Amino acid sequence: MPLLEIVKIPVDDPVAFTFFTGYMAMLAASVFFFFERGQVDGKWKTSLLVSGLITGIAAVHYYYMRDYYAATNETPTALRYIDWTLTVPLMCLEFYLLLKPAGAKISFMWKLIAASVLMLVAGYIGEAFTDGSTSHSVIWGVISTVGYAYILYSAWVGEAKQLADRSNNPAVKKGIQALAWFVLVGWAIYPIGYMAMPGGWLSGLLQPNDINLFYNLADAINKIGFGLVVYGIAISDAKK
């Protein structure tokens, strides 16, 4: 076996391009968050560390997904979901860390994590064990959406929102509101990608490979964006 396998990037393959740029963006974001961690007030250091871990874990997965895709032209479903199973609960942890001073209990975090696990396990069954039928895709997509809806509800009206309202820190209030927008708009890109799979509701309109286009775009927006919101809270809080 050769030591270095050269992967080819076809010039007309946007999916391959987004795997490469996604990798680079995640890596650069991690370096940024880790270095900036030294500049912020002590109470924000853990949050910035978690931001860097989220993009760092994603960077490693993108490194492998990129090559997997380039070598096989197939969707790296297992790697994708391993990445998400680590990074989405870390995003739930971010919510908890930001809202802890406002009185968030550890059970608040576990509820979010449980909802995210339901969302991801159902999504994985839907994608990995598809028989190409619409019923399979829809059933697991709907179950997954229940988990997603819980997180959305918490961020906009439920526990997360109520804790943010109770916070006496305006930076945290604004920050949680920004994260709620990410969950509503940024996270909604994923189910659109999911529907591109064979049998999916949008499979007549989209190519099966488009799933990667949507997921790569959404990952960059959400993982780096989430981290930047947390960074923004830490910076604006320090100015006062």
Ligand X SMILES: *C/C=C(C)/C=C/C=C(C)/C=C/C1=C(C)CCCC1(C)C
Contact positions vs ligand X (CB under 6 A): 84, 87-88, 119-120, 123, 126, 141, 144-145, 148, 187, 190-191, 194, 219, 222-223
Structure token pair of residue 89: 């609960």
> What minimum distance in Å lies between the beta carbon of 126 and ligand X?
6
Comparison of 102 and 214: residue with beta carbon closer to ligand X: 214
> What minimum distance in Å lies between the beta carbon of 28 and ligand X?
16
Comparison of 69 and 167: residue with beta carbon closer to ligand X: 69
CB under 8 Å to 182, separation ≥6 — which residues? 221, 222, 225, 226, 229
Compute the C-alpha angle 205/15/80, nearest 5°: 95
Which residue has the CB atom at the shortest distance from ligand X?
A: 123
Comparison of 59 and 172: residue with beta carbon closer to ligand X: 59
Comparison of 71 and 188: residue with beta carbon closer to ligand X: 188
Are 206 and 196 contacting, i.e. CB atoms less than 8 angstroms apart?
yes
Q: What is the Cα–Cα distance from 139 to 210, expressed in whole angstroms?
A: 21
> What minimum distance in Å lies between the beta carbon of 77 and ligand X?
11
Q: Give the side-chain half-sphere CA count within 13 A for 228.
A: 12
Comparison of 23 and 84: residue with beta carbon closer to ligand X: 84
Q: Helix (H, G, I), strand (E, B), or coil: what is residue 3?
A: coil
Q: Helix (H, G, I), strand (E, B), or coil: what is residue 168?
A: coil
> What minimum distance in Å lies between the beta carbon of 67 and ligand X?
20
> What minimum distance in Å lies between the beta carbon of 187 and ligand X?
4
